[in-house]
Structure 1
C-alpha cells in the first residue's frame, strides 16, 4: 500500500476544541441557498428531482454537545430529519486541519472549509458514512453541487442484518455511483481497497485536510493514507465558475462540522434514527 504520510510540524498545531465545552463554535441550522453563485435557489432543483427536504429547517438546528471529551452531533430530535452545522467562530486562510472522527452507520456528515459565516456556501470534505457514501472526497455546497470523489462505500451485514464493516460500493446497485467524471476531477484519487485497509470500523479514524491557495488546492488523508486532491482553480464541473466562487468565498473562511438532514431520496439511509457523529482532538496549523 502506498501514500501513507504523517502530519509534520506537530508543535505548531493549536486546538480548536477544548474537550470540555463548545467554546469557539456556534450552532446553525442546515438552511439551503442558491445552487451556485448567482444561480437559482436549490429548492428549485429539489422540486425538479421530486425531492422533499425538511420543512422550515431554520427552526430546527442539530444538537451539539460534549460527552467524555468528545464533540457529538445528532439530529434534534433524533429521527426528526433536521440537520445543522457547528461553525468555528474563527476564519482561516491556508491551513492543515487534523481531527479524529467516529460516525455511526448510517451518518452523512463532513467537514466544511472556507465556509461563509452565515450562508451555506463552502467546500465540503465528505464523511458520508452511509450507503453509496464518499469519505475523503469533495462536494461544493452552493458551488454548483460539484462532486469529486475517488470511491464510494457501503456496508457488510451479518445474518441478523447488523452492519459489520465497510465494503466497496457496487456501481451496478449504487444510488450515487462514482463515475469516471467525478473521479476525473481529482488530481489524486485513492483506490478503495487501500482505503478499506486503513479504515477502523467502530473505531476512531484520523482525517487530515490541507487547504492552500486563494482558490485552494485541497488534499485529504485518512489514517495517513492520501485519499484525494482537488484543485478548485481548475475544477471543471457544470455551472462551476472559479472567479464567481472566489468572489463569494474570499480567501478565508470558517470550519464547520455537519449533521445532514434527511430527504425523500435516502430517508433514514442518510441519517439513521438516533445516529451520531463524533469528533475529538481537533487541531489546526495555519500555513
Structure 2
C-alpha cells in the first residue's frame, strides 16, 4: 500500500480515560488575529462583508462521554456554534493516535501546539463535508494557510442519503484544492489511495507525528501516509515562521474541534444534529532528536 507504515505501540499512554472528560477542558471559538501582528479575525470578516458571530465566547460546543466514546456536537445542536475540547497538558514532540467517526457533514479536526487560551495552532483537518480535506493542514491564527493533498465529497444512494466518499469535483467545488495548496506539502497522498482505506460510517484511525521547534507534521489514516508539512519552510501569504514561533513556542496543547457554521457553507459545514466521535486517544512523547518522520 503506497505510503503505509505500522507504528510501534510501545510507550503510548491514554489521553482519554473512556469514562470522563478528565484531563480536558472545553473552550469556545474565540477569534484572535489572522496572523501574528495582523488584523483580527473579526476585522477580516468585516472586510469580506461576513457577519460577525454573536457572543461565541458563551458557546464552547457540547462534549460528553457515552459507552467509552467522546462525542462533540454544536452548542446547541443546530445553533451553528462550535468550540474545542483542549488537553490540560501541553506537549512538545509526540506521536498521537486516535480513532474517529464523524457524521456527514461534520467539519472537525485536531489542533497541535495550540495555545491554551487563544486560537493559534496547527490544525490537522478532518473536514468530513463537501470540498473537505482529511489529513491535510490549516493554520489557525497562523495566516490561515491551507496545505492539503486532496478534497472529498459524498455520493448518495437512490433515496438521497449519503452513502460514501468520492473525490471532490474541482469544476463544482466550493473550496477546490489548488496546486498551490498541494505544493506546500513535502508529501501528498493520492485521493484514490485515501478512498481505498477510508471506512464509511465506521471508525478510522488517525496517526499524527509532530517533531521540531517549528515542527514537521506527518499524518496517516488507517496506516496510509496522507501528508507531511514542514512548518519551518512553508511559504504562504503572511506566514512568518519566526513570528509564529514567538507565539507558539515549542510546546502546546492538543484540541478536538466542533466547527461553527458560516455564510460560506452553512449547514453543509456542520449538519443539524451532527456529531463527531473519538475514542482510543493516546500519545507517545518523543525526544527532540527522534527525527521528522519514518
- How high is the TM-score relative to the length of structure 1? 0.99
The corresponding residue for 1:120 is 119
Partner of 1:3 in structure 2?
3
Contact persistence 1:54–1:262 (CA under 8 A): no
CA contact (8 A) 2:46 2:52 kept: no
* CA distance in 2: counterparts of 1:262 and 1:198, whole angstroms: 29
- Could you tell me how far 1:197 is from its partner in structure 2? 0.2
Per the TM alignment, residue 48 of structure 1 is displaced from its structure 2 partner at its CA by: 2.4
Using the alignment, how far apart are the partners of 2:155 and 2:49 within structure 1?
30
The answer to which of 178-187 and 158-167 deviates more is 158-167
Report the CA distance between 1:53 and its aligned residue: 4.5
Give the CA deviation at 1:11.
2.2
Structure 2 residue 49 is matched with structure 1 residue 28: no
Structure 2 Cα separation of the partners of residues 196 and 228 of structure 1 = 14
Deviation at 1:31, TM superposition (A): 1.1
Query: Counterpart of 1:272?
Result: 271
Distance 1:5 1:75, change over 3 A: same
2:255 corresponds in structure 1 to: 256
Partner of 1:75: 74
Equivalent in the alignment of 2:145: 146
C-alpha separation in 2, matches of 1:254 and 1:78: 26
Within a 5 Å distance, the mapping from 1:1-287 to structure 2 comes to 1-8=1-8, 10-287=9-286
User: What is the deviation of 1:6?
Assistant: 1.2
For 1:286 and 1:142, the matched residues in 2 are separated by: 25
Contact 2:136 2:227 in 1 (8 A): yes
Q: Distance in 2 between matches of 1:48 and 1:199?
A: 38
Where structure 2 has 5 or more consecutive residues not aligned to the other structure, the ranges are 287-294
**Shift of residue 173, structure 1, vs aligned partner:** 0.5
Q: 1:166-214 CA deviation, whole Å, 9 max, x = no partner?
A: 0000001101000000000000000000000000000000000000000
Alignment root-mean-square deviation, CA: 0.7
Q: Which 4+ runs in 1 deviate beyond 2 A?
A: 47-54
Deviation at 1:47, TM superposition (A): 2.2
Name the stretch that deviates more: 43-52 or 115-124.
43-52
How many angstroms does 1:161 deviate by? 1.2
Q: CA deviation at 1:49?
A: 2.4
SS in 2 for 1:11: coil
Q: How far off is 1:44 after superposition? A: 1.9
For structure 1, the residue ranges without an aligned partner over 5 or more in a row are: none
Task: Report the alpha carbon displacement of residue 4 of structure 1 after superposing the two structures with TM.
Answer: 1.1
TM-score by length of 2: 0.96
